[in-house]
Chain A
């Protein structure tokens, strides 16, 4: 009973992390038609920066702030300095982000070395929470709670604010949005920063669960791709649901059949693609 409860909570926490990673990816993909393959790297850099700040003794709060800000800045720079110059050519942009992800992986290896850096969860969250005779790791509950709050804030941002209205207009019809006077250039950079910041925050929160290690980027990126393919582009709810589906499948797959966890991961994707090529909640975007 205990082990199943823990695995369920692990799935939920992984789902929450995947949501932070994938929602940023989906936001950028939906608005700018860029498949940002540096997203796994941004997650890893977030984890490394947070690990460094925590090790310096500044605590998790400050680490999260520093990592999110640093990764958001990095994302903004990538968009402004590199992707901007490639015009509207989707293929060139994807290849550029792929090249950047290789560079980022090696630079991280040079800076932080090849050994995993463990990140300690804050002291108050280390004691397990006892409920109904079961012990739950408190930190994972907090990660889940933060993910839900982030999802709500993101929903409010997209549905209730002026910036969100501009994003929605851009996703639906970019040329028309431009013609209506929406500052597309600033919007692109803003969205790229938001997407990167979400990945950075996810990396920070993922630190105590995964540790910061080289290869974390290659571990997370495919999960994000599968979430976005499964949930469909242009639907925040689809991304949210798909994140938790993949969180559960991956965690229980690893628990029950560790050899085949990757294959089990790919089955729901195949089933969904067979019947709904645009994903569970995908809409065809012009």
Chain B
């Protein structure tokens, strides 16, 4: 059982050999959503800080990469690190502002900040091209590897996802991660024990924005296009739904949640015109009936079944 993540990755790597192009592209989208939801999980699940503005970081990273490539004519080897750097710097500033408050105040600040960024993407037409978005983008070609083929892009995304998930898991399981959960459950005791609660939360916020930036790069590579809606509240809400539906604070819960949300969105949009109404209803259902998420509900179900057998 110890090696099952490796087995899972191997099975995932074989996916393009059995599936058609449509499903490979869908799987790439799922992987991007997994990275994004997992980055939010650092904040929501392990830090207990509910953010409604996470899409800003995805969007900022994507826009910086697109803008540097299009308007400055720079190559991907430069734009990718620059995008991550800018996203992390913005994360530092936004984290400082948002963490002036806790709880609902934090949530309102993240929401207000993300709306400001979203409004800026619409209005600052000279930079973002406004409602038309930035198009004509390219995918990188690391070491001559042609990512325009959907199979190659899937493998590339899987590789990045694995590295990101590995780093985030290390982060969570490190002593720092333990102290983070301490600040979530007992902030006053942690403070009394000499931990700098504010600094722990801020570092987590910055790390979370960095990984959201990674997801943003994959997002813009996949779509080769970026539009202000990528940083709208619905995108933040979808990620939050993934985290909460899957099980906040678990390692694979948000990944499961992201899979469900992306697949649901994909299939639902074939049948109904309005995705947001379904997103709202599913969200409402989860919040009312399954506040702890699917993973805990599933493991409770498994325990219950085992109990019955004995």
Asked if residues B116 and A106 are in contact (CB atoms below 8 Å), the reply is no
Distance of A96 from chain B, by nearest CB (Å) = 5
Is B178's beta carbon under 8 Å from chain A?
no
Is A12's beta carbon under 8 Å from chain B?
no
Q: Which of A253-286 contact B (CB under 8 A)?
A: 258-263, 265-266, 269-270, 273-274, 277
Q: A262 to B274, alpha carbons, bound, how many Å?
A: 28
Known A218-B115, A229-B112, A277-B101; contact A109-B274, beta-carbon cutoff 8 A: yes
CB neighbours (8 Å) of A265 from chain B are: 116
Contact stretch, chosen from A49-57, A176-184, A188-196, A220-228: A220-228
Asked if residues A229 and B283 are in contact (CB atoms below 8 Å), the reply is no
Most buried by B among A29, A35, A98, A260: A98
Q: Which of A201-233 contact B (CB under 8 A)?
A: 218, 221-222, 225-226, 228-229
Asked if residues A222 and B116 are in contact (CB atoms below 8 Å), the reply is yes
Is B301's beta carbon under 8 Å from chain A?
no
- The chain B residue sitting closest to A96, CB to CB, is B287
* Contact partner, A273, options B100, B119, B120, B232, Cβ 8 Å: B100
Contact indicator per residue, chain A 82-108, by CB within 8 Å of chain B (1) or not (0): 100110011110111011111101110
Q: A98 to B107, alpha carbons, bound, how many Å?
A: 12
Is B298's beta carbon under 8 Å from chain A?
no
Is A110's beta carbon under 8 Å from chain B?
yes
CB neighbours (8 Å) of B52 from chain A are: 98
- The chain B residue sitting closest to A101, CB to CB, is B280
Known A226-B112, A266-B113; contact A92-B284, beta-carbon cutoff 8 A: no
Interface of A is mostly: helix
Q: A258 to B111, alpha carbons, bound, how many Å?
A: 22
* Contact partner, A91, options B50, B100, B105, B113, Cβ 8 Å: B50
Is A168's beta carbon under 8 Å from chain B?
no
Known A259-B126, A266-B112; contact A99-B283, beta-carbon cutoff 8 A: yes
CB neighbours (8 Å) of B288 from chain A are: 82, 85-86, 92, 96
Known A92-B291, A262-B119; contact A229-B276, beta-carbon cutoff 8 A: no
Is A33's beta carbon under 8 Å from chain B?
yes
* Contact partner, A228, options B100, B107, B108, Cβ 8 Å: B108
Q: Count chain B residues whose beta carbon lies closer than 8 angstroms to a beta carbon of A.
A: 39
- The chain A residue sitting closest to B126, CB to CB, is A259
CB neighbours (8 Å) of A82 from chain B are: 284, 288
Q: A105 to B105, alpha carbons, bound, how many Å?
A: 24
Asked if residues B124 and A259 are in contact (CB atoms below 8 Å), the reply is yes
Contact indicator per residue, chain B 272-291, by CB within 8 Å of chain A (1) or not (0): 00101101110110011001
* Contact partner, B112, options A29, A86, A225, A261, Cβ 8 Å: A225
CB neighbours (8 Å) of A101 from chain B are: 280
Known A98-B237, A102-B234; contact A225-B277, beta-carbon cutoff 8 A: no
Known A89-B291, A96-B287, A226-B112; contact A35-B277, beta-carbon cutoff 8 A: no
* Contact partner, A98, options B104, B113, B283, B291, Cβ 8 Å: B283
Asked if residues B276 and A258 are in contact (CB atoms below 8 Å), the reply is no
Known A225-B112, A259-B125, A263-B120; contact A96-B284, beta-carbon cutoff 8 A: yes
CB neighbours (8 Å) of A92 from chain B are: 287-288, 291
Asked if residues A229 and B104 are in contact (CB atoms below 8 Å), the reply is no
Asked if residues B111 and A225 are in contact (CB atoms below 8 Å), the reply is yes
Q: A24 to B63, alpha carbons, bound, how many Å?
A: 36
Asked if residues B125 and A99 are in contact (CB atoms below 8 Å), the reply is no
Asked if residues B280 and A95 are in contact (CB atoms below 8 Å), the reply is no
Asked if residues B97 and A270 are in contact (CB atoms below 8 Å), the reply is yes
Is B81's beta carbon under 8 Å from chain A?
no
* A-B interface, 6 closest residue pairs, ranked by CB to CB distance from nearest: A102-B280, A222-B115, A99-B283, A262-B119, A103-B280, A106-B277
Q: Can you give 6 A-B contacts (C-beta < 8 A)? A: A35-B104, A91-B107, A106-B280, A229-B112, A260-B123, A269-B112
Apart from A86-B288, A222-B111, A262-B119, what 11 extra A-B contacts exist at CB < 8 Å? A91-B50, A91-B107, A92-B291, A96-B284, A99-B287, A106-B280, A225-B111, A229-B105, A259-B126, A263-B116, A273-B100
